[in-house]
Amino acid sequence: MSKPAHLFGPSHRLVICLGPGGVGKTTLSAALAMRGAIEGRAVDVMTVDPAPRLLDALGLDPREGEPQSVPLDGIAKAPGARLRAMKLDPKATFDALVARYARSAAARDAILANRIYRNLSGALAGVADYMAMEKLLELHDGGANDLIVLDTPPAREALDFLDAPRRLLDLLNSRALALLGASRELLRGLGIVDIAARAVLAAFDRIAGLHLLSDVQGFVRSFDGMFEGFAERAGRAQAILHGPGTLVVVVTTAEADRVAEARTFVESLHAAGMEIDAMVVNRMMPAMPALAQLERAKIPAELKRKLKRNWHDFAALKRRESISLEALRALLPGQAELIVAPDLGHEPRTLRDLAELARSLKTVQEKANRS
Amino acid sequence: MRPPRLIFITGKGGTGKSTLAAALATALSRRYRTTLADLDRRQSAARILGAKLDAAAPVRVSETLDVTALSPRAELEAFIQQIVPLKLISRRMLKSRTFGYVTAALPGLEAFLMLERLRALAGQAALDDAYVVIDAPATGTALELLSVARGVKGIAPFGTLNNLAREVESFLGDPNRFGVVLTLTPEELALREAVEAAAALADAGIATVAALVNAVPAALFEVGELAAASGLAEHATMAARRVEAGAGAARARQQLERGGLRVIELPMLFAPSLAAHEVSELARTLEAELIAE
C-alpha cells in the first residue's frame, strides 16, 4: 500500500515545512534535507529552535548562526551530495538587516539601542518568521545550493508564517506608530479613530508610567528611509515562496487534535493561493504483525497470553491512528502526496538515525488510485 | 493540602495537556464548583468535555462544571472600554487594523492583561470556594506569558502599571492562589522540557503543584521474560516498546522527584478514541492523587 516518497522533482529549489508545534517539524526538515543529499543534491537546511539532540546528530555548534557543513561520510555517496545546516537566530538576523539598511552608523546604533526595537526583535512573534524569510533570501541568493529546506517557527496557522513580512512591514510602517510619534500639528486631518487610538495610548503611557512615546518617536524617526529596502527583500522572499520551484510541505502527526489543526493549515494555504504539495505524517506506528504468528509460537503460555494482550492494546492505538490518518488524507487536494514517517521509538541521535528516517519516508497509496 | 485556587496546566505539545486539563477539571468538579478556562486557541479541552465555545459566555457542562474561553483580545477590549467609555469610538478603534499594531508597541500588554484576569478569577474562586483550571498554551509560550509581569515591572519602574505588576507577581508567587501543573509523556524531549520548565518556574518563585507523566502503559512483562520472545520479530519489538515506556516513566519520576516535584502517573489508555469515558477514568486517578485529603 506504500512506496518510497516522491517528494522533490528536478525543478524544486525550495522546500518549506509548515506545521503546528510538537509534531517533530524540525527533525523532519533535517530528514528531508538529508534525503535531498542522499539523492545527490547540495542542500542547505535552516532549522528553527532545534532540540539539542538534533544539533548533536547534525554536529552543529548551537552558537553559530551561519551554515555549517554536515559530514556525510558514507551516508550520501552521490557526487555533488552536500549538506549544510544552520540554526536561525532571529535577533542577530534582524540586527544584521538593520545594519545593512541603516543610513548611518549613528542611525544603526540608535535603532539597536531603542527600547521599542529591543522588545520588538526579542519578543514579537512575527519577527522570527520574518527573519526566517530573510535568511531564506540569503541562502537563495548565495546560490551555493540546489535545494533549500526551510523549517518554520511553530504556528497555529500557516499564514502566521507566510504573512509575517507583510505584518511586520505594516507594523514598522504603520500610521499608528507614526501617529504615536507625531506632533500635535500633524494630528489635524486624522480620523476620530486614529485620534482616539493615540489618546488611549498616550493615557495608558502616562498612567502606566511607561514613558514609551518618546521611544516610539525615536524609533519611527530612525527607521525612516529603511522601509524600501525591507519591503523589497520581503517582496522577493514572497515571490520565491509562491513560485513553482517551491514544495510546500505540512508536517503533522496522526492524532485527533492535530487533524483540526492540519485542516486550518490546508484551508488557509488554499485561501492564500498556495496549494500544499505534500503532507508528512510523523511518528507513525509500525504496521501490526499477524496475531496468528503468536498462536503458532512455541513460547511459555503465560508469555503468549501477555503478548496477545499487548497486541490487542497496540491494535487499539493503531486503530485510533488510522482514523486520524484517514481524516488527514481527506483534507488533501488531488495532487498532494500523503507521506508517512515512522516512529523510530526515540529522537534521532545520530546522522545515521536521520538518514534512516529520510530513507523510510513512504507515500501512502496515492489519492488518484483510490476508488 | 488543597490545590491552589487556580491551576495552570502546561506541557510540551502532544503530551495530552488538554485531555488532562479536562480530566482535572472533571475531578475537581466532583467536590467543588469548577471552571475550566481555555487559553489555548485550539480549545481542545472544551471539545473533549463536549462544550462548544463560540461566544464569550461560559458553557455549563454539569451542575458544578463550567467551561469558558479566555482570549487576550477580549481582555484588551475590556481594558480599552474602560479607558474610552464611549462605546461607539472604542468599538471602531478595536476594529481598525492599525490598532492591532499599536498594541504591539506596548510590549506584552495583552499578555499582562490576561494575567490580571487570572488574578481576578482566582480571587473570585477563593470567595466562592471554587476552583479554576486553565488549559494554557504549550510550555514555551506559557512561560513567556508568566514572565510578562516581571518584564512590565522592568519597563515601568513607577506608576499604575508597576503597582499592578507587583500585585500580579505576588499572585503568581502565592501557592494558595496559583500553581502550575506540568504534563509530559515518558519521552526524553518531553521530560527535558518539563525539567527545564520546573527550573524556570522555581526561579520565578512560582509553585509547581505536580508533574503529570501521561500515557504510561500498565506494566505487563517481567524482567527477562521477553528473552523467550526474541524470535517473534514485531511482537517482540512491540513488547519492548511497552517495557521502554515503563522504564522511561520510572526515569522521569526519578529525575522530577529529585528536583522536588510531586509526580503523578496517568495510564496510557489503549482505546480507539478518547471520549468521555476515558476522561472520567483519568479524572479518577487525579482525584485520588491530587484532590482527596
Cβ proximity of B214 and B185 under 8 Å: yes
| Helix and strand totals (H; E) in chain B | 11, 8
Mean pLDDT throughout A219-226? 68
Q: Is A311 helix (H, G, I), strand (E, B) or coil?
A: helix
pLDDT for the residue A158: 60
- Retrieve residue A318's grid coordinates: 493503531
- Burial-class residue A287 by CB neighbours within 10 Å (0-12, 13-18, 19+): exposed
Q: CA A272, CA A242: separation in Å to the nearest integer? A: 10
Stretch 236-265 of chain A: residues touching chain B, C-beta under 8 Å = 253, 255-257, 260-261
Q: Is B35 helix (H, G, I), strand (E, B) or coil?
A: strand
Interface contact A210-B106, CB threshold 8 A = yes
Centroid of chain to Cα A218: 33
- pLDDT, one tens digit per residue, over A119-139 is 665 545 566 777 788 888 889
Interface contact B159-A208, CB threshold 8 A = yes
Mean pLDDT throughout B104-116? 74
Distances (CA, A) of A36 to A13, A83, A252, A352, B41: 11, 9, 20, 15, 35
- pLDDT, one tens digit per residue, over B131-175 is 999 999 888 889 988 988 777 776 666 777 778 889 999 999 999
Query: How many angstroms separate the CA of residue A138 from the nearest CA in chain B?
Result: 27
| End-to-end Cα spacing for chain A | 14
Closest alpha carbon within chain A to B154 = A210
Q: Is B160 on the interface with A (CB under 8 A)?
A: yes
| End-to-end Cα spacing for chain B | 7
Centroid of chain to Cα A19: 7
Q: Is B208 helix (H, G, I), strand (E, B) or coil?
A: strand
Residues from chain A contacting residue B237 (CB–CB below 8 Å): 286
Which residue stretches of A102-244 are H helix? 105-113, 115-123, 125-142, 158-162, 164-173, 175-181, 192-208, 213-223, 227-242
Interface contact B156-A51, CB threshold 8 A = no
Partners of A109 in the β-ladder: none
Q: CA A351, CA A368: separation in Å to the nearest integer? A: 35
Among A38-42, A190-194, A227-231, the minimum mean pLDDT is found in A190-194
Among A224-228, A247-251, B100-104, B135-139, the minimum mean pLDDT is found in B100-104
Residue of B286 and A119 predicted with greater confidence = B286
Distances (CA, A) of A88 to A45, A84, A131: 10, 13, 8
pLDDT for the residue A368: 45
Q: pTM of the full predicted structure?
A: 0.85
Q: CA B113, CA B81: separation in Å to the nearest integer? A: 13
Q: CA B119, CA B145: separation in Å to the nearest integer? A: 13
pLDDT for the residue A39: 93
Interface contact B161-A209, CB threshold 8 A = yes
Three-state helix/strand/coil letters over B121-185: HHHHHHHHCEEEEEECCCHHHHHHHHHHHHHHHHHCCCHHHHHHHHHHHHHHCCCCCEEEEEEEC
Highest mean pLDDT among A38-42, A101-105, A154-158 belongs to A38-42
Cβ proximity of A340 and A2 under 8 Å: yes
pLDDT at A367 over 50: no
pLDDT confidence bin for B192, thresholds 50/70/90: very high
pLDDT at B115 over 70: yes
Cβ proximity of B13 and B140 under 8 Å: no
Q: CA A345, CA A359: separation in Å to the nearest integer? A: 16
pLDDT for the residue A336: 93
- pLDDT, one tens digit per residue, over A296-330 is 999 999 999 999 999 999 999 999 999 999 999 99
Mean pLDDT throughout B239-263? 96
Nearest CA to A258 among A228, A289, A280? A280
Cβ proximity of B201 and B208 under 8 Å: yes
Interface contact A297-B41, CB threshold 8 A = no
Cβ proximity of B75 and B109 under 8 Å: no
DSSP character string of A233-294: HHHHHHHHHHSTTEEEEEEEESSHHHHHHHHHHHHHHHHTT----EEEEEEEPPPPPPTHHH
- pLDDT, one tens digit per residue, over B17-73 is 999 999 999 999 999 999 999 987 667 888 888 887 776 678 999 999 999 999 877
pLDDT for the residue A204: 62
Nearest by CB to residue B273, choosing from A203, A320, A345, is A320
Query: How many angstroms separate the CA of residue B128 from the nearest CA in chain A?
Result: 31
Q: What percent of chain A has pLDDT over 90?
A: 35
Nearest by CB to residue B98, choosing from A53, A174, A199, is A174
Interface contact B93-A200, CB threshold 8 A = yes
pLDDT for the residue A53: 75
Mean pLDDT throughout A19-26? 85
Residues from chain B contacting residue A176 (CB–CB below 8 Å): 98-99, 101-102, 105
Partners of A43 in the β-ladder: A83, A147
Q: What percent of chain A has pLDDT over 70?
A: 77
pLDDT at B230 over 80: yes
Interface contact B159-A216, CB threshold 8 A = no
pLDDT at A70 over 50: yes
B134: Cβ contacts below 8 Å, ≥ 6 apart: B6, B7, B8, B9, B21, B37, B39, B70, B118
- pLDDT, one tens digit per residue, over A276-292 is 999 999 999 999 999 99
Q: CA A125, CA A119: separation in Å to the nearest integer? A: 11
Stretch 189-208 of chain B: residues touching chain A, C-beta under 8 Å = 189, 192
Interface contact A22-B13, CB threshold 8 A = yes
Residues from chain A contacting residue B196 (CB–CB below 8 Å): none
